[in-house]
Chains A and B, each alone.
Chain A
């Protein structure tokens, strides 16, 4: 799975470079997320600007990651989403996960929000 990462202070921004984030690549994502956690990255932004399709398996691994991060750093870890297109937003709304995940219009807005929350 192709993911580009960069850091803004302690915040890790992961841009998913796959057009389809689905059952085929979801197992790879969870391995990478575990590595980030082991590396003490506990504020993570997932940038979906390159993603056009996600399925329920991908949504499941994002939920798993969200739980891991919320438990990390004595409950201070955070996972946010940004640059979600209308299709993916419709799935988040259908599953009500739009009311659970912090979702921002772009990575700059997400970085600002996570930096202020610390």
Chain B
């Protein structure tokens, strides 16, 4: 990408976990285009998919008749995602602490709730706000230095 260019992607999908695949594939391609490698692009795709799953399951309580908006902006040094829903506001805390301790007993291994940790670990910043009945999650990742 030249230093003067910026890129923009906008998607609106139904609030269905299966449709989060559309967001995932688009984000993966967008990240590759912006200069991330395939593993980094997968991780960013995964973070956005985890966000949409949380929206479907928690904000919309698995109601498929709502929508999720994704805006991706590629700048010279970073990529910014804004994901918007109009469901119930979230009550969560992003954690940078890995929920898995390999030394724990096998029974203690978590079978869920890893999504927020993945989002926080993959992205450089994650911010959440509620504005005029919209839940707005903004995630940013710096581009790899060439």
Contacts and interface: CB of A to CB of B under 8 A. Distances in A.
Contacts, number: 80
Contacts of B99: 95
B28 to A, nearest CB: 8
A42 to B, nearest CB: 15
Nearest to B104: A100
A7 interface: no
B46 interface: yes
Chain A facing B: main interface SS: helix
A43 B119 CA distance: 33
Nearest to A97: B100
A71 B19 CA distance: 36
Contacts of A66: 106, 109
A53 B39 CA distance: 10
A56 interface: yes
B109 A56 contact: no
A95 B17 contact: no
Interface stretch (B70-78, B110-118, B125-133): B110-118
Closest 3 A/B residue pairs (Cβ): A87-B42, A99-B102, A56-B114
